[in-house]
Amino acid sequence: MLAGSFEGGIALRAAAALQRAAPLGAATPVDHAAALARRHDQGQAPRFGTLVDAVAEISSTPMTSIVTAEGLSKTFQVKVRDPGLRGAVRALFRPRYRDVLAVRDVTFRIEPGEIVAFLGPNGAGKTTTLKMLAGLLYPTGGRVEAAGFVPWTGGPPFKRRITLVLGNRQQLVWDLPPEETFRLNRAIYDIPEVDYRARLAELVTLLELGDVLQKPVRQLSLGERMKCELVASLLHHPPLLFLDEPTLGLDVTAQEAIRRFLIEYRDRYGATVLLTSHYMQDVTALASRVLMINRGRLLYDGALDVLVARIARPKRIELVLGGGGGDGHRVTAEALAAFGAVKSFHFPNAVLEVRREDAPATSARLLAAFPVADLSIEDPPIEEVIRLAFARGVEEDQ
């Protein structure tokens, strides 16, 4: 029987704390984590006192990252087909192949309890990387460890420690209520009935799911379906979550509910989350760290605001003109253009873009020149910054 992964979560968090306190550079933690995991799987871990045990064990063998990718690469061989019948026949008898370098030499580590976001345009290699970390695809090169295992050799013990949610795929059965899928997963993961009930109740509450468990899936809204997908994927309490576009196509309310849930789940269980999303709000609300990937290459690994400061050379000065007396009406776009690039001007609002280092001085000059009711200095919208980063590459800005 599988011991509650509750303890697993605590052990990992304790490990993370110790890891932070311990000097870096200690190697061979993976075997240790696997040993810990195996112990849990064999039900040898005592239900109480696990934390103490874990600390005792870990202090003798410090544990490191929960995810390690080193020089990770994936090349797909894609059949090339010339147009027309001749092309089809030729492809059948003398196929030619082209290499698609989906992931190229990507290296990063993730520590337990982190929420990390993968950023990148379509086709950047995000899903391919997540699938390799989850053991669904073999890499063509490099090394991966996740939750203490080499993913594709980890077997059931590995699968109990991770979950992979693909926003564009569904495990729920269309014509059945979600609870049928939950029960199936309960059986697959061998979750004791009491744990199942407690976890289901907790997940339903945290996800603000309401009364949908008995309805057939096809009657649920997209948001309710995604929430149920998350329930199905988390009933076994994995400490490591790979989420590929978990908020894809959802309305703002459902997106926010899922964000709140992920933060709460991480805080409760010390879970580690690696997610991709097209919504920058997801990234800014959730992730302390971003991995930016484009054409299979890792361009940036670090804090989002550092990336923004590096890319966003300009600052935006947002003005609300006024000050009474109707003076403001004399302000023209031409007059404003002397201070910076006018991004928009609809009296009384104006937005100027200036060089980052000029922002304070230009603001002072604007205040002296015009009747200004309000002035603020902002970074450009994050979407724009990211677009710029992809267009130019990050390195050239360093």
Residue ranges in contact with ligand ADP by CB under 6 A = 76, 78, 100, 102, 120, 122-128
Assign 3-state DSSP to the chain and report helix, strand, coil percentages, each to 5: 45, 25, 30
Q: Between residues 132 and 350, which has the closer beta carbon with respect to ligand ADP? A: 132
Cα-to-chain-centroid distance, residue 159: 19
Neighbours of 164 (CB within 10 A): 20
Neighbours of 346 (CB within 10 A): 7
Least Å distance between CB 249 and Mg ion? 14
Least Å distance between CB 166 and ligand ADP? 10
Least Å distance between CB 127 and ligand ADP? 3
Q: First and final CA of the chain: distance in angstroms?
A: 52
Choose which of 65, 68, 73, 127 interacts with Mg ion (CB under 5 A).
127
Q: Between residues 120 and 223, which has the closer beta carbon with respect to ligand ADP? A: 120
Least Å distance between CB 341 and ligand ADP? 32
Helices 178-188 + 222-234 axis angle, to 10: 20
H or E element in which residue 334 lies:
helix 333-337
Q: Is 298 left (phi over 0), alpha (psi -120 to 50) or beta?
A: beta
Q: Between residues 126 and 316, which has the closer beta carbon with respect to Mg ion? A: 126
Q: Taking Cα atoms as reference points, which of 135, 160, 136 lies closest to residue 36?
A: 160
Question: Which residues contact residue 146 at a Cβ distance below 8 angstroms, ignoring those fewer than 6 apart?
Answer: 66, 67, 68, 133, 134, 135, 154, 158, 162, 240
Least Å distance between CB 244 and Mg ion? 6
76 binds, among ligand ADP, Mg ion, none (CB under 5 to 8 A by kind): ligand ADP
Q: Between residues 69 and 235, which has the closer beta carbon with respect to ligand ADP? A: 69
**Candidate segments 13-21, 120-128, 179-187, 230-238, binder of Mg ion by CB under 5 A:** 120-128
Question: What six digits make up the tokens of 202?
Answer: 């907790």
Q: Give the number of C-alpha atoms closer than 13 A to the C-alpha of residue 75, restricted to the C-beta side.
A: 10
Contact (CB, 8 A) for 140 and 77: no
Q: Between residues 293 and 307, which has the closer beta carbon with respect to Mg ion? A: 293
120 binds, among Mg ion, ligand ADP, none (CB under 5 to 8 A by kind): ligand ADP
Least Å distance between CB 384 and Mg ion? 22
Q: Between residues 39 and 126, which has the closer beta carbon with respect to ligand ADP? A: 126
Question: Can you point out the beta strands (E) in the chain?
Answer: 67-80, 96-110, 115-119, 141-146, 162-166, 240-244, 272-276, 289-294, 297-302, 314-321, 341-346, 349-355, 372-378
Q: Taking Cα atoms as reference points, which of 130, 136, 114 lies closest to residue 16?
A: 114
Least Å distance between CB 120 and Mg ion? 9
DSSP letter string, 275-290:
EE-S-HHHHHHH-SEE
**Candidate segments 66-74, 127-135, 164-172, 295-303, binder of Mg ion by CB under 5 A:** 127-135
The residue of the chain with the least Cβ separation from Mg ion equals 127
Q: Between residues 78 and 92, which has the closer beta carbon with respect to Mg ion? A: 78
153 binds, among Mg ion, ligand ADP, none (CB under 5 to 8 A by kind): none
147 binds, among ligand ADP, Mg ion, none (CB under 5 to 8 A by kind): none
Q: Is 50 in the site for Mg ion (CB under 5 A)?
A: no
Least Å distance between CB 26 and ligand ADP? 33
Q: Between residues 68 and 127, which has the closer beta carbon with respect to Mg ion? A: 127
Q: Taking Cα atoms as reference points, which of 69, 128, 381 lies closest to residue 276?
A: 128
Number of residues this chain uses to bind Mg ion (CB under 5 A): 2
**Contact positions vs Mg ion (CB under 5 A):** 126-127
